[in-house]
Amino acid sequence: MTEASGGAVRVVIVDDSSSIRAALRSLLDTVPMTDVIGEAADGLEGVDVVLELRPDVVVMDMQMPNLDGISAARQILEEWPGAQILMNSAYTDESLMAEADSYGVKGYLSKDLRPAKLVRAIVALGQLAQHDDAPLSTA
Amino acid sequence: MPLDDASDTMDPPSERTRWTGAHKWVAGQTALIGLVGATLFYTASGSVKTDIWMTSTGLMLATMYLGIFRFRRANLKPWLLVAGGLTSAYVAMFLMNYGSWFGLSFGAPSLLDGLMLANYPLATLGAIIMLSRFNVRTGMHALLETVTLTVAGGLLIYVFVGVRAAEAAAGTAATIVAALYPAGNVLLLAVLVAVAVRLRERPGGMLLVALGFAGNLAADLISSWQRLEGTYQPGGWVDFGWLLCFIGLSAAPSWPESGRAVLLSESIDTDEAQMTPGRLSILLFALLSAPAVLIGQQLGDADTSETVAVLGTVVVLALALGRIALYNQDLRRKEAALQAANAELVQSQNDKQSLLWRLNRAVEEERKRIAADIHDRPVQQLAALGYKVETVSLALMSGDVDKASDLTEEVADELSEQLTNLRNLMTEVRPPVLDERGLCGAIEDAGRAFAAKHDGVEVTVEGGGGAIDAALEPDAETALYRIAQEALANIGKHAEASNVTIEIRDVDGDVELTVTDDGVGFRLEDRAGFVGAGHFGLAGMGERIAMLGGSMDVESEPGAGTSLRFRLPNDVRSTTDVDHQPQGDLAATGA
């Protein structure tokens, strides 16, 4: 992993599972290049937290109470088109992936992926976001 | 022959039912005497003609007695009545022809008329007793048809022959005797109508008796008419009717089938009311008899018969209308029954569909719930554990051994927790307790759990034991376990019970599960509306046991609790060994 030029990548975790939030926060805290600046336990709260904190990267679960991940991502991107959102889900449904892509979501990762890859994706996306405000064309 | 033996066993005859040498001999004698007698009678002339007549009819009468005592010993009474009637007529003829030998002469009316007339009631009584031994229609329809036809025919006999003969007679006694002959003919007609209308089968002997009666009736009527017209010739073709009477009656006892006492009156004629062509023609005849009577009146010039003719016609018409009304009534009853059956069918079809839909939905919901459970618990937890292991790896790389050690311990704890979670999930899909402790043990656990969840409810599980646990197919075991769970859930929801008893027994090789509570119960007649009202529990349990070929019995009364009995037939049970051992008798209290 390379060192972030603009400081640590600021991350918000949106996931209804407290275990996931705690474990991911603990992992990202161990990585020097990332800094978890906020958490949300459902989509509605996620929209508020993200729009308020404007993190470099959002790690968003798909299935959540109150507002699901895809709808939350859509609302965030409508308000803030530059948001870098990574969907992180137990489901890998093609149509959901396509839908997320159409809203401008930057990536779609399965929860069965090795955590190191998730970390690398977060760091890479975060650093790109810090260097260039323009949205990436693909995830 | 094997076939005959079989029919003998199924329907034991009281008399011989097969042609034997003896039957053939007696019947052959009858045929021979009848044929030879008739031929000689019609070829001879003068007084010899009378001798031939008396000899051949006498021989035939003797053959009739021979047949009766040889083949009808078990059923003597009706045959002796018929034979007695014929004998009486024969004696009358004998005295009429040979009375002068003994210095006897007879006027008109005389003793001979009495002997001759005695034939009719005796023969009729005998034939009716014979008929009652066969499979006859006994309903109101058959009775109406018989009466209609007899009254209509009787009316015609009365108008065309009876009244005229009586009018032609001189003196009171002669008038009465002259009227009694047509009355006797009406009796014969009644027997013939009964044979035609009421007899469901066609036994040879009975038909021969009917043939004899028909011959007698025809000869009587035609000769009476001819006598009134003055055209009767003794020894002419009309006499053949009486000859036929002797031939038929003397042959009848030796006809094997006629002796069968086929007491099949319990057999139900489902088309009793149906208007067959034969039955329609009865009505037509009855209706046509009315104008025929009017014509007869004109021809007969008989003022005295007017009232009777009108009354008789009205009676015949009323009888015919009654028969039609019965037919209508039956049609309506059948239609109503059909509609009721149809409605029931539609209802049961709807219930079944609703139940199937509900079962499908339940299965789908169960799957969704299990999927959601897997997503929410093991998948999330395992993903979190993955993050932790990755964190451990990073901590080790950066030399933070303490952090790595703490995290590893957390990971170990959580892994153990996840195993428990997965195990619980598995229990929901297929309770391992069934494999570990068998059905009875599993139900015992379910009862204990239910009692723990519902304060003040005592659950007792009884029975079980050897054969049951070891021998059920896994799906049958799961079904019975689910049924017990559902029954308990139902009790929890509706019964307000304080005692629940679950019994598992082996009844004649079948497994019987009974769940009894002392709760509020319900009216059994309300049960039909449960599915419609959205209560699927009872129907679901019934369907579940039915899918395995079993049955459910429900007993309940408001205020007297409910008892559900599920019976799983023997053939559903497995013959393969199951790895758990029989539990022995269980008598555990789950409270």
Reading the block at residue B62, the tokens are 């003797």
Query: Does the pLDDT at position B206 exceed 90?
Result: no
Task: Identify the residue among B390, B400, B406 best suited for mutation to test binding to A, counting A beta carbons within 10 A and taking the highest.
Answer: B390
Listing DSSP states for A39-108 in one string gives EESSHHHHHHHHHHH--SEEEE-SS-SSS-HHHHHHHHHHH-TT--EEEEES---HHHHHHHHHHT--EE
CA–CA separation, B65 vs A131, rounded Å? Answer: 133
Q: Which residue, among B222, B233, B113, B228, has the nearest Cα to B164 in the 3D structure?
A: B228
- 3 state SS of B170: coil
Residues A90-105: b if buried by 16+ CB within 10 A, e if exposed: beeeeebbeebeeebb
Inter-axis angle of helices B432-453 and B401-429, nearest 10: 90
Nearest CA in chain B to A22: B384
CA–CA separation, B302 vs B296, rounded Å? Answer: 9
Question: Residues B126, B85: contact at Cβ < 8 Å?
Answer: yes
pLDDT at B24: 83
Query: Does the pLDDT at position A139 exceed 80?
Result: no
Using the beta-carbon criterion (under 8 Å), do A114 and B390 form an inter-chain contact?
Answer: yes
CA–CA separation, B504 vs B567, rounded Å? Answer: 10
Instruction: Write down the residue that tokens 């509306």 correspond to.
Output: B529
Q: Do the bridges between strand B551-556 and strand B510-517 make them parallel or antiparallel, or are there none, so unpaired?
A: unpaired
Instruction: Write down the residue that tokens 């990073």 correspond to.
Output: B394
The shortest C-alpha distance from B554 to chain A (Å) reads 43
Q: Do the bridges between strand A34-40 and strand A9-14 make them parallel or antiparallel, or are there none, so unpaired?
A: parallel
Using the beta-carbon criterion (under 8 Å), do A90 and B390 form an inter-chain contact?
Answer: no
CA–CA separation, B302 vs B323, rounded Å? Answer: 31
- B336-392 tens-digit pLDDT: 999 999 999 998 888 778 777 877 877 787 788 888 878 777 888 888 898 999 899
- Confidence band, pLDDT 50/70/90 cuts, at residue B273: low
Mean of the per-residue pLDDT values of chain B = 81
pLDDT at B552: 92
Question: Residues A70, A62: contact at Cβ < 8 Å?
Answer: yes
| pLDDT higher at B126 or B465 | B126
Q: pTM for the full model?
A: 0.51
Count other Cβ atoms within 10 Å, centred on residue B49.
17
Evaluate whether ipTM surpasses 0.85.
no
Tell whether A62 lies on the interface with B, counting CB pairs under 8 A.
no
Identity of the amino acid at B420? T
Reading the block at residue B410, the tokens are 């957390």
Reading the block at residue B446, the tokens are 């379910």
Q: Which residue, among B202, B213, B212, has the nearest Cα to B257 in the 3D structure?
A: B202
- B478-525 tens-digit pLDDT: 888 889 988 998 898 888 889 999 998 888 878 899 999 999 999 888
Q: Which residue, among B193, B74, B217, has the nearest Cα to B137 in the 3D structure?
A: B193
**Residues of chain B with C-beta less than 8 angstroms from the C-beta of A91:** 375
Reading the block at residue B401, the tokens are 């051994």
Identity of the amino acid at B507? V
Q: Which residue, among B150, B145, B83, B156, has the nearest Cα to B118 in the 3D structure?
A: B83
**Residues of chain B with C-beta less than 8 angstroms from the C-beta of A22:** 384
Tell whether A111 lies on the interface with B, counting CB pairs under 8 A.
yes
